[in-house]
Amino acid sequence: MPLTHRFPKEHFLNRELSLLAFNRRVLAQVADSQVPLLERLRFLCIVSSNLDEFFEIRVAGLKEQIKLGGHATGADGLPPQEVFRRVIDQAHRLIAEQYALLNDAILPALEAQGIAFFRRSLWSDTQRAWIREFFLKEVMPVLTPIGLDPSHPFPRVLNKSLNFAVELEGTDAFGRSSGAAIVQAPRALPRVIRLPGELCEFDYGFVFLSSILHEYVGELFAGMNVLGCYQFRVTRNSDLFVDDEEVKNLRIALQGELPQRHFGDAVRLEVADNCSETMTDFLLQQFGLNRGDLYRVPGIVNLVRLMSVPDQVDRPDLKYPPFQPGLPKELAKRYDIFTSIRKHDILMHHPFQSFTPVIQLLQQAADDPQVVAIKMTVYRTGTDSVLMEHLLRAAEKGKEVTVVVELMARFDEEANLSIAARLEEVGAHVVYGVVGYKTHAKMLMVLRREDHGYHRYIHLGTGNYHPRTTRFYTDFGLLTSNPEIGDDVNEVFKQLTGLGKASALKHLWQAPFSLHPAMLGAIRAETEAARAGKPARIIAKMNSLLEPEIITALYEASAAGVTVELIVRGVCSLRPGVKGLSENIRVRSVIGRFLEHHRIFYFHADGKQNIYLSSADWMERNFFRRIEISFPVLEPRLKRRVLREGLKPYLADNSQSWEINGSGDYRIRSTRRSRICAQELLLADMRVGAVNAA
């Protein structure tokens, strides 16, 4: 039955519009003068990166729905044509605000701090001479100008690549005079070039590659007049399609599909605001786009490339202060990882606490002769991951290494294919999960032969096994040797690598089987408690909240008197604070230095205070189309930690917290009380040298 028939559509907010609202909150960090200047520049780039993916996936999907004559697919009931109209309107406004902040606030502030970006009109003679030499030696040799004529049709333009449309006058050596050419900037070229210090009065002087090409593009067309040179960039549909019913070998099917990602249907055209109408219309025609898909920007067309600037500038005073993550109390001194885990469960809170114990678990497992087997899921881990090196070494030493690699992890497919190939070369067992279901669960199991038989050591996490992202994503990780949890994890691995019916698990809730009904059951238990006059409370923290049955259950809980407090970083379809529907529900979104990523679910449970950590958001895909797990925090002292670190500071935050109303509008939360910033409190509490409560 269509979602719009099962649930009243007015009860839900639109997913795409909510995602744009999230990026507006990120953009607010750029406007916040309390954020260090170079970090504001990073946030500006993050918005561009987020919008790239938004167009590549969400807008591309809308266009496909419209083309196929699709009807409303979301619980909000909006037809795709109406969603597209609203999305395009808001996206144009958001991007206009982004460039206004760049040009009117960030660049002038950077210049005041001795960090300047030189426009062509401001180049001095000495700068111009250096830049010309740079062009002739470093840039021109790798350029391939393509004149447009019957034997040179419009080239295939890579997704998100920097290109230049050149208007020309005159004829060339062969008598050709098409009047237009395309110059593609190779991705190997830096988009921002630092000038030698002696050439400018600033500490840091930069020039854009686009400025250099604009200035010297005439060198590519000898004897012809350049009438105009305009940078442009096209964004394409990047969603991969692999037919689950037809595929015989997922790896081979994916390898065949990946090369086409760079040349999917165009969904957006960005051009510099000086681009002539004639050239603009020509480009739109070439890419099959209309005016609504056009974005004229007053500056460079790829702001993501500015992300390299903060790393080139040695100004700690313009960045977040560095910190050294601490360790849980039980790991603060010299320790043996296996002995420590046997004593009791260990909870790690990243990035405030180090990811090193997970790396050490794999390292010791690879070298320990008593370890006989290692099993691990890989969703995102990076191409140069130290974790993979330990797995490779373990396999080379003859241990049974089994890795469930998710090949369909969006934009990490190529890296995961490479990891899979390397593991297979050393004799590891590599499987790709279950066709049709992404393996998103984060699990690591080490099997060790000890005095009384085999013993399992488990790591479960809310985030990826990616050492780099653990430095700026907030996540929880649990190390345990609990035999029953070990049995559950082993059962899930058996499902992923073998065949057979799903068995009941003792502690874990697993998608696509028990997770959704278990979450609904926990919410409804709080509802029944409230109806019986007992205390009832739900606190949930996640990235996204979309699944309509869960939202409806939360509405019913609210009506029964359950206090529902939600911390949803990104997309939220629930309407809070609506009279007669959700008066007891509050929704916050915290945007700050770190990306809020952990999923925490708290249920009062008649005083038992059940807490689950998970890899899954409350979304249909996580409940029904992915392999996910949600695991309980069993030890009371660790429950207290999750409450104290993962929930209470975020509920109290009044500096980086946004509240949403029933119309879907977000307002920064502020009070007259003293300033409370959850992330800063956690940094202070868990840095090296702080005493961390167990």
Residues annotated catalytic, as ranges? 440
* Bridge partners of residue 183, in order along the sequence: 164
Under 8 Å between Cβ of 530 and 561: yes
Residues with Cβ within 8 Å of 686's Cβ and at least 6 positions away in sequence, in order, are 325, 326, 349, 352, 353, 645, 692
Residues with Cβ within 8 Å of 532's Cβ and at least 6 positions away in sequence, in order, are none
The dihedrals phi and psi of 567, each to the nearest 5 degrees, come to -120, 100
Neighbours of 408 (CB within 10 A): 19
Residue corresponding to tokens 């040009």: 103
* Bridge partners of residue 602, in order along the sequence: 539, 611
* Burial (CB count <10 Å: 0-12, 13-18, 19+), residue 508: buried
Neighbours of 534 (CB within 10 A): 13
What is the C-alpha separation between 383 and 18, in angstroms, rounded?
32
What is the C-alpha separation between 514 and 222, in angstroms, rounded?
69
Least Cα distance to 457 among 478, 429, 440 occurs for 478
Least Cα distance to 361 among 349, 350, 375 occurs for 375
- Angle between helix axes 250-257 and 413-425 (nearest 10 degrees) is 140
Under 8 Å between Cβ of 318 and 113: yes
* Bridge partners of residue 438, in order along the sequence: 626
Residues with Cβ within 8 Å of 512's Cβ and at least 6 positions away in sequence, in order, are 437, 623, 624, 625, 626, 627
Q: Length of the chain in residues, anyone?
A: 694
Residue corresponding to tokens 């691990």: 376
Residue corresponding to tokens 């290109």: 163
SS3 per-residue string spanning 392-419: HHHHHCCCEEEEEECCCCCCCHHHHHHH
